[in-house]
Amino acid sequence: MTPLITETVALFKANADPDGLTPKLKEWNSRYEVGGWASAYEEFGNFLLIHLSALPVYGNPLESLAPLLVVKTLNDLQDWADQTWQILDQVLDDDSDDAIDAATMGLPELIPGITVDDDSKPISRQALFITVALIVVFNHFACMVHRKSLFQLVAEAKAGDDESLLKAIQIDKQCLADIPYFQERLIQAAIAGEDNFVRRLMQYRKKPAFQTGTALQPLYLVLSLLDGMGLLDAYLEDFERFADLCQELGIYGPDNDACDTESLAKTVRRFKAKYRSLAPSQKIAWVIKDTV
């Protein structure tokens, strides 16, 4: 995943316009009538569900997933998770040019039973693919730059945190158009004469997503995603192994030397203290096991 994210970041840095989109994305959005994706950030449960929604693009109906019945043991949960990830594997791992071309070319192919905004108009296979891709990519950018997912930033913004509102807009400009609270806050500030906030909002509206950030962006991405899935604490139980994994992924430590576990531990503690996710606590701990 990390090489693909690095490539995507470079692409956006080089080609994104003031709206935060590349010319190719704008072409796809216009051709397949894509819009309104930022509203998905208002529900934290979409953090995980968004990947499931891409399955119809590849011809896998959601019904193909085994139902999560009453989980009685950790093994039951692990078996269900394994089945789910096997189905999701093509969504998460198939980043080839052929797969992308197949999902973004040709006339719109409507998917029966899946509509836009709960109305009667079916969504096209291409529009669904692009919508999911935009949500996933911008959410990854937020994790890398601000150490928090867009789902987290939007939740904090709606709770009254203007800094989180500004950070969300910096990453995905569509937030200002799709999330009613963001529009209401801007109108409220304009009426109240909060010139400084309005000025800053316009600045963040034009601010490139990667104007701020650190060299540890890939590490923060991994920490944020694991935290959002409720897996971070399970991975950290064997910290030496986690450090080795980070070095193997190339997201921390020198390429040919031992990872500085003490420094990594400080970074993880700082992340947990300041940037922890709003994801609900896990009633049953996830089981982390080798898949090799």
- Compute the CA torsion angle 249, 45, 155, 13 (nearest 10 deg): 40
Tokens of 106: 């040709």
Helix ranges restricted to H, the chain: 2-15, 23-31, 46-52, 74-93, 97-104, 125-146, 150-158, 162-171, 175-178, 180-192, 195-206, 217-228, 232-236, 239-249, 261-274
Count of C-beta atoms within a 10 Å radius of residue 88: 17
Which residue has tokens 């990453």?
Answer: 171
- Tens digit of each residue's pLDDT (9 = 90 or more) over 172-206: 999 999 999 999 999 999 999 999 999 999 999 99
What's the pLDDT score for residue 88? 54
What's the pLDDT score for residue 199? 96
Which residues, 6+ apart, have CB-to-CB distance to 164 below 8 Å? 148, 152, 153, 154, 156, 157
What's the pLDDT score for residue 225? 77
User: Which residues, in sequence order, are bridge partners of residue 124?
Assistant: 110
DSSP 281: P
- Tens digit of each residue's pLDDT (9 = 90 or more) over 111-148: 766 665 556 677 787 888 888 888 888 988 888 888 88
Determine the straight-line distance between the first and last CA of the chain, rounded to whole angstroms. Answer: 17
Polymer length of the chain: 292
When comparing pLDDT for 221 and 288, which is higher?
A: 221
Secondary structure class of 122 (helix, strand, coil) = strand
What's the pLDDT score for residue 161? 96
The closest alpha carbon to 197, from 172, 162, 146, belongs to 162
Contact (CB, 8 A) for 79 and 148? no
When comparing pLDDT for 49 and 130, which is higher?
A: 130
Tokens of 10: 């470079």
CB burial string 227-236: b at 16+ within 10 A, e below:
bbebbbebbb
The closest alpha carbon to 110, from 56, 39, 51, 49, belongs to 56
Which residues, 6+ apart, have CB-to-CB distance to 26 below 8 Å? 17, 19
Q: What is the mean pLDDT of residues 219-243?
A: 83
What's the pLDDT score for residue 171? 94
Per-residue pLDDT band for 168 (boundaries 50, 70, 90) equals very high
CA separation for the pair 133, 172 (Å, rounded): 13
